[in-house]
Amino acid sequence: MDAKKVLEDLKRRFPNEPEYHQAVEEVLGTIEEEYNKHPEFEKANLIERLCIPDRVYQFRVTWVDDKGQVQTNMGYRVQHNNAIGPYKGGIRFHKSVNLGILKFLAFEQTFKNSLTTL
């Protein structure tokens, strides 16, 4: 595995998600040496399977604020990877939340779940 090449491909496929890129870059840098000792990992395409979420739901949320104005926001549900534990995550309500942030959180939650055997 060439971590730089994997990251470049990820940035090309998902260009507006810098938070997600950063999380993946940190993990790839940590595992690259060990990963390269195991050709069976490459054969199984583990990196792509680990870096690309299983599912992403994107939806509109329409609501009425305190002034009676109708507001519309985007909602996201990222189911990252359940190969080493269940899907798990939280809810974030803020105008700064975007898909890249939620993919970052889901990516990290995958490892947390596996380490805590959830």
Q: Domain of 7: which CATH number? A: 3.40.50
46-68 pLDDT per residue, tens: 888 889 999 999 999 999 999 99
Helix residue ranges, H only, the chain: 3-13, 18-35, 39-43, 46-51, 99-115
The pLDDT mean for the chain works out to 89
% of the chain with per-residue pLDDT over 90: 57
Matching residue, tokens 């060990």:
34
Question: Domain range holding 67?
Answer: 3-115
Instruction: Provide the number of structural domains found in the chain.
Output: 1
Looking at residue 17, its pLDDT comes to: 95
